[in-house]
Structure 1
Amino acid sequence: MIAEGKHIYIYGEKGKAAPLIVMNTFQGNGSDVYSALCTIAEKELNLAVISDINWNEEMSPWECAPLYKNDSPYTGGADKYLDKLTGSIIPAIKAELGAEPEYTAIAGYSLGGLFAIYSLYRTDVFSRAVSASGSMWYPSFLEYAEKNNFGKMPSRVYFSLGDREARTRNALLSTVEDKTGKVYDQYKNKGIETTFEMNPGNHFKDADLRLAKGIAWILK
């Protein structure tokens, strides 16, 4: 299906009030994530994968300069996209499913993982979240998380990283493990059920499996 110019791929069974996991992706249809979930998840779910994301625009909470020469800047369009996501895209997904979900959660990888966590502060739609190899290095995000309240207190939040992700000469990216740990500690101290899992490899290793593992964890 298409909504707000985005291709949306829905996996699961229509008409069932299973949890709805909304996943924003840079490219692809998310079929590999769903295939992995079918082998490891202990509960039925519906997965809605939203593609055609303008990544550096729609997943970034505010402006940030490019990380490397000749890269694109981050232009801070997350709030605008979140309005579309909650106002029309998710209602269209629910209409397609034909049932009100048990709850709605959000998942994402890399900058999509940052957006998943950011959305917890900007809306009350999501009760659980997955940030797989999330971009917690993003300038001022740790401070934002410290100072702001959730739209609705989440019940379960999953964080993960690769154990080689912080091994970089880039000053911002090298902070990702420390900052992810600090956001995780904030959530734990608030009484949220949360975990921070380290996976082998760099940022680009086993992305689909890392997402599936996070989604399976929040479904428990």
Structure 2
Amino acid sequence: MVGIIDEGGRFINQLQVYALLMLYLFEVRGWRGPVVRALNMTSMADQLAKEFGVEVYEVPVGFKFVAPKMMETDAVLGGEESGGFGFRGHIPERDGLLAGLFFADMLVRYKKPISAILADLEKRVGPHSYDRRDLRLPRETYDHASEVILETMRELESKTITGVKVVRVRDDDGFNFYLADGSWALLRVSGTEPLVRLYSEAESKDAVEARLDTLQEIIGVGGEGGG
């Protein structure tokens, strides 16, 4: 795992870290090849992949899915929303030390602070904001409640989220709604804790919060935890 802050102390979220690593590996180091991302990882990867002419493989959440796909496809980079990143030619596992070293080299090569590199990235892919909510349910009723939530999502007939058209739904690991404006909103139930996790990435913080609010209203679960 790796955590990055910029020169002003601002936290760089893990989706931004993935996109920055991808840009650096392709643009600075000249690597080419597919990348692998968990389904709760950034859509910025898809935009950069189009620019550099490479494939993106989306897998269920967890590095146990990311690593095998990396080995199968000889991927340059693999990553998940929790902040784990793996790299071609290294161990097929998350390595925060190597990710940190790549970031140090990134600063040297670009001769810019992280905030400026991130600003350059956003000029290429547009603004992206992200957030996650962890909704904690009573443990004693969680099994039943989570099944009710999943059934509610299966029966959902809405063709829009916050007024934006749903163009695709992936339902093999929760329910991920891919929207016409390039944003997405995901609901997953935890198999290890009494938690329902809501994720979204969109062009602004307000848009993200609206998508999370909509998912939370659909399932009728109150309360909010930190992401």
TM > 0.5: no
TM bucket, shorter chain: under 0.3
Structure label with greater radius of gyration: 2
If the length of structure 1 is used for normalisation, what is the TM-score?
A: 0.27
